[in-house]
Amino acid sequence: MVKFQSYFFLSVAFLLGSVAPLYGNVFNFLLLIFVLLLWWKNGKQVWTNLMSERLYIGVNVAFLLYFSLHTIIVLLKGNPIAKPSYGTFEALALNFVLVPIFVVTWKDWLTPALVKRFLFYFCVGSLLLNLYILLMITGTRLFTAPGEALGMLYDNRFGENRIVLGSKYWLEVQAMLLAVSALITYFLIIIEKRWNRKICVICMFWMFVLFLSFTVTKSAIFGFLLGFLVMNIYLFKKFSFWRRVWVFGGTLLVVLTFVLLSDLKKYEERIEEMEIEMRNVRDGQFVGGTLAPRLAFIKESFKHLDEFSLWGLGVMTKHRIKAWYEASDLNIAQFNNVNNAFLQYWITGGIVGLSVILFVFFVSIYRMIKRKKFSFLILAIICVFLVVSNSCVTLSWANSRALMLIFFAMFYFYGNIFFQLENDLSRDKPSSI
């Protein structure tokens, strides 16, 4: 059974980086089937594992119960302020509750070697999906006219929001996965002892950095740079002088490569676009397609603070937000959400909703502080999730929600394993990837 669990564990890692961001709902039901199978096989042990992490799981269950009670009260009152939408129940039940239950079932057999392989398989899945997108966009021009193909990739921001394998792939999610994958491969470069595998993950790292530059997505790139900085500050404190020299040289090489390979004109255009939008906002005109609408979402939402500040809008959230924007004078009638995961769940669940999201993001950091066992990879990935979640509704989209919640649960439940991987480098034996 343990061998089957390990294979399934690595399959989940591969799917999480590849097709899970395209078919989030199908992936959720795959996890549900696995949890039910484990419960049927060894329900007593599963229950023991659940009880060992009952705080984390209990918070998410409590949020589901609160949302259910909120819905009942709203419907019984009658005369709802907007048309009900029940999609949040799926998000809470199949992700916020199911995902940590799924992750905690690994407790009996998860090892540092398996976590290392999980991270590698995740990056392989992410790389293959992005290579497919690359070839889908460029075709044979990537080989016959590479300069023209690269220019087209920057012009199209790596395809923007497009249909991939029959499903919508949001650019923000794609960029977030590229940033996370780049940080993970950088981590694998550091901990890997075998040179053939080290060279493999070095190549993967450069490809992820290049692909991330194609997206020209500010939040994901900033999140990556922030996470990269966190990792290297940690390494500078931990490593010897010569290893510090290697880290500094590698960091400098990353920056130079990014500058030399990137189409800087596109970044200059984005900066100029932001400057224009900031001037417009200062003049009271929320005109633009990047910064202005996001500021408008926040401003318009806080005009209705009295409606959601304490208890939230519950099942009325989706259509109520749409009504706000349609009636707004801030040029945002065409949008449907607040483009901020924290504000979205505050509007949905009130103080309870906001508290749960803050708990999910930061409780693993609290546990690291409490145990005095810090993982620079955990901190770096949380940096990416935190930055990107302030510019889009990552925890409301099915194609990014499961991925993030699996990582958050892993960080909380198995932070000691990440710590062990990072702090036993001198005793690290080569392990199979």
For the chain, the domains span: 2-269+341-427
Report residue 162 as tokens: 């497009």
Q: How many CA atoms lie within 13 A of 8 on its CB side?
A: 18
Distance CA 43, CA 59 (A): 22
| 5-40 tens-digit pLDDT | 788 889 999 999 998 888 887 888 888 888 888 888
- Please check whether residue 219 is in contact with residue 172, taking contact to mean a CB–CB distance below 8 angstroms: yes
The per-residue pLDDT for 259 is 61
The per-residue pLDDT for 151 is 76
Parts of the chain with a pLDDT under 70? 1-2, 159, 237-244, 247-248, 250-251, 254-270, 280, 283-285, 287-289, 424-433
- Please check whether residue 144 is in contact with residue 163, taking contact to mean a CB–CB distance below 8 angstroms: no
- Please check whether residue 219 is in contact with residue 390, taking contact to mean a CB–CB distance below 8 angstroms: yes
| 189-240 tens-digit pLDDT | 888 888 888 899 999 998 999 899 888 888 999 999 999 988 888 777 666 6
Closest by CA position to 181, among listed 121, 233, 231: 121
Determine the Cα angle at 297 with ends 306 and 365, to 5°: 85
Distance CA 398, CA 87 (A): 10
Going by their DSSP bridges, the two strands 162-164 and 167-169 should be labelled as antiparallel
The per-residue pLDDT for 213 is 86
Q: For residue 168, what is the enclosing H or E element?
A: strand 167-169
The per-residue pLDDT for 215 is 87
DSSP 108-163: TT--HHHHHHHHHHHHHHHHHHHHHHHHHHHTTHHHH-HHHHHHHHHHTTTTSSEE
